[in-house]
A and B are shown apart, each in its own frame.
Chain A
Amino acid sequence: MSHVPLAGDAAAGVLAASDVRLDVNAVDYGILIVYFVVVLGVGLVARRYVKTSLDYFLSGRSLPAWITGLAFVSANLGATEILGMGANGAQYGVATVNYYWIGAVPAMVFLGLVMMPFYYGSKVRSVPEYLRLRFGDSSHLFNSITFALATVLIAGVNLFALALVLKLLLGWPILLGIVVAAGVVLAYITLGGLSSAIYNEVLQFFVIMAALVPLTIVGLHDAGGWGGLQDKIRQTRLGEAGLHALQGTDPGHVTNPIGATWIGIVFGLGFILSFGYWTTNFAEVQRALSARDLSAGQRTPLIGAYPKLLIPAVVVIPGMIALWKIPHLGGGDANLAYNNAIPLLMNEYLPNGMLGIALTGLMASFMAGVAANVSAFNTVVTTDIIEPYLARDRPDAFYIRAGRFVTIGGILVAIGTALIASGYQNLMNYLQALFSIFNAPLFATFIIGMFWKRMTPAAGLWGLVAGTIAALVTYVGYKWAGWFTFGSDLDESFWGAGAAFVVDAIVTVSVTLVTRPKPVEELQGLVWGMVNKEDAAVAAGHDRWWESPKLLGFGAIALGIVLTIIFF
């Protein structure tokens, strides 16, 4: 994985930063300012329509699938996506597509086709709330708290990454960047709640594309098209291996730049990490829950899968162009870290005007990540911790107000966690470790609970606790205590996620066998084979053929397979 310079490194690198800093002028700043005026305006307009807490937290469950689908992808188009995957494109070449076609699309399709009927059909407002209906209060409270913790930590990563880019490109001090970004996100979420967060994510999606597509076009033109770029990559450090997705991943003779076998890619990345993230991360699932009906809810991740299939074209390819175009990229100089591949390329190619769009797109991508996490955080804290356990049966206005205060609190905490993130050399590794601790056990509990009616409430709690502890022990034992050694930080997150999954499953099955299950009639709409019939009828009732979730889902998988074969 790529390296983000430490805060200290960045400070030390300031002397050399003048050759990295974007050459922005008044037009570029104007474009950026217009964008922020519009974003805040959307918050103000959205406010007029926010009347109930359901509006605030789930957009009144009224959004059409194209909006929630684009928001679904956009929530993921944050710091790690644009900079991280651009960096991976420069470091690993074409193999980076495994993070998309194997590591994301199948899980998105699984969420849409298999899991959404349980989530949406049970009318929950959050992922933890599903646990409450399926298993009861204790596992619900445990998961709500760990989720809230994970989310502010991740929001902090996004804030820090944004501040880092502002420092490198515009010369803003890290702390100023963090505070300004936090202020803008705070303003639009407290004003409009989830609606304004989602609406802005859709807006952000288009602005991010408007920044990346022209960059890719110019770069490819310069390299002499795709064929020309292939020739150029063959002459770089990556060589021929940088042009293949899965070639050279056989156990025993791995020559693929990622250095992983296909078993690790398919099961570690494609199954545990990917399914854990996409199917249980509420920042993602919340977008689907706010759709207007079950069919739209199912289509949310499926519609999102199509842009996800194509995003590597405008993220990975610029990374590869940067490897050829920017001399010494990935060398010792902090300013030339792989993470800066896309910003450096923007500065290299884009004249004023487009440069402003590119800067706006970069800012938008960070805001999307922070906003998604903060809006998920305020929902879970308000509806899963405050409402059921701390302040029951208050008037609806109380919960909206509480949600606004929680948002402010969440942002303030995220400023703190941004400072924690600043201590990590590689943000992607830090993020993957967080996912292995918080998402992998949750996925094990969900998948077993959805398909095994017998699984008991006690098993729900103890499986989660044991899985979380297993991943934590793996992490602490590797990072601080020195009990385990792994090939890399990323390797640790694979094994940590695997340990969490296996320990969770073993504890879940053991506890289930010695405790009393819930009566079957209380599981309507919560487990496989007992989907809420009314919703199923709605979903079947008005699907036009191109809206069929099965067609959309299998179409995305098929396209992913075709693309993987083409770039094998």
Chain B
Amino acid sequence: MSDRDTPEQGTGTREAQVANLFDLRRIIGGLFLLYGVVLVIVGLGDSGAEISKAAGVHINLIAGLGMLALGALFVAWALLRPLGRQLQEEERKRRAAGGA
């Protein structure tokens, strides 16, 4: 493996790698937003029997709201740390270190 010492080469552009990372934040965010919506809807329709099963805690509703918050947090993170800035930081670090 000739490119072992310089991983930057041959792994696609830095943009592609960071886009990969961006995807993960979006995936986690998206999954939890979806789960949150489902749980909130289920939670709003929960009968008394279901609530008393969970020791009187509206667990579907509370967990659903929590998941909405977590999902929103991840999506916000992905949007607030724009890819361009992250790329620039990478480059600056690399140059400051004098490496690669």
In the complex, whether A310 has a CB less than 8 A from a CB of chain B is no
Known contacts A218-B54, A351-B46; A542/B93 CB under 8 A: yes
Q: Are A54 and B59 in contact (CB under 8 A)?
A: no
Given contacts A49-B16, A51-B12, A218-B54, contact A35 B59 (CB under 8 A): no
Residues A206 and B32 in contact, CB atoms below 8 Å apart? yes
B63 touches A354 (CB 8 A): yes
Least Cβ–Cβ distance between A537 and chain B, in angstroms: 6
Which chain A residues in 56-88 approach chain B with CB under 8 Å?
60-64, 67
Question: Is B7 within 8 A of A61, CB to CB?
Answer: yes
Q: Is the CB of B42 within 8 A of A46?
A: no
| Contact pick for A27, options B5, B12, B42, B55, CB 8 Å | B42
Cβ-defined contact, B50 with A351, below 8 A: yes
Nearest-CB residue, chain A, relative to B51? A351
Q: Which residues of A from 9 to 35 have beta carbons under 8 Å from B?
A: 27, 30-31, 34-35
Let me know if A351 and B67 touch, CB within 8 A: no
A353 at the interface (CB under 8 A from B): yes
Contacts of B56-90 to chain A: CB distance below 8 A: 56-57, 59-60, 62-64, 66-67, 70
Which partner residue on chain B sits nearest A63 by CB separation? B21
Contact B97 A203 (CB under 8 A): no
Q: Are A195 and B20 in contact (CB under 8 A)?
A: yes
The contact string, 1 if C-beta is below 8 Å from chain A, for chain B 4-40, is 1101001110001100110110011001101100110
CA distance A542 to B97 in the complex (A): 8
Interface size of B by CB at 8 A reads 45
Q: Once the chains bind, are A202 and B35 in contact (CB under 8 Å)?
A: no
> Are A54 and B63 in contact (CB-based, < 8 A)?
no
Chain B interface main SS type = helix
A123 located at the interface, meaning its Cβ lies under 8 Å from any Cβ of chain B in the complex: yes
User: Which chain B residue shows the least CB distance to A383?
Assistant: B1
A114 within 8 A of B: no
Please measure, in the bound complex, the distance between the C-alpha atom of A46 and the C-alpha atom of B17, giving whole angstroms: 10
B27 lies within 8 A of A54 (CB) = no
Question: Is A551 an interface residue, CB under 8 A from the partner?
Answer: no
Whole-angstrom distance between the Cβ of B57 and the nearest chain A Cβ: 5
CB interface residues, A 111-130, toward B, < 8 Å: 123, 125
Cβ of B24 and Cβ of A52 under 8 Å apart? no
Within 8 A of B (CB), among A326-369: 349-354, 357
Q: Shortest beta-carbon distance, A229 to chain B, in Å? A: 13
Contact in complex: A353, B54 (CB < 8 Å): no
- Minimal beta-carbon separation of B8 from chain A (angstroms): 9
Contacts of A541 in B (CB 8 A): 93, 96-97
Query: What residue of chain B has the Cβ atom nearest to residue A60's Cβ?
Result: B11
Q: Does A446 contact B (CB under 8 A)?
A: no
Q: Report whether A350 and B93 are in contact in the complex, using a CB–CB cutoff of 8 Å.
A: no
Q: Is A54 a contact of B57 with CB atoms below 8 Å? A: no
Contact A357 B53 (CB under 8 A): no
CB-CB < 8 A to B46: which residues of A? 351, 353
- The answer to whether B11 and A55 touch across the interface, beta carbons within 8 angstroms, is yes
Give the nearest-CB partner of A349 in chain B: B54
What are 17 A-B contacts defined by CB distance under 8 Å?
A: A46-B20, A49-B16, A54-B10, A60-B17, A63-B21, A64-B21, A202-B28, A203-B28, A207-B31, A213-B66, A214-B62, A214-B66, A218-B54, A221-B57, A353-B60, A353-B64, A396-B1
Interface, chain B (partner A; CB < 8 A): 1, 3-5, 7, 10-12, 16-17, 20-21, 23-24, 27-28, 31-32, 34-35, 38-39, 42-43, 46, 50-51, 53-57, 59-60, 62-64, 66-67, 70, 93, 96-99
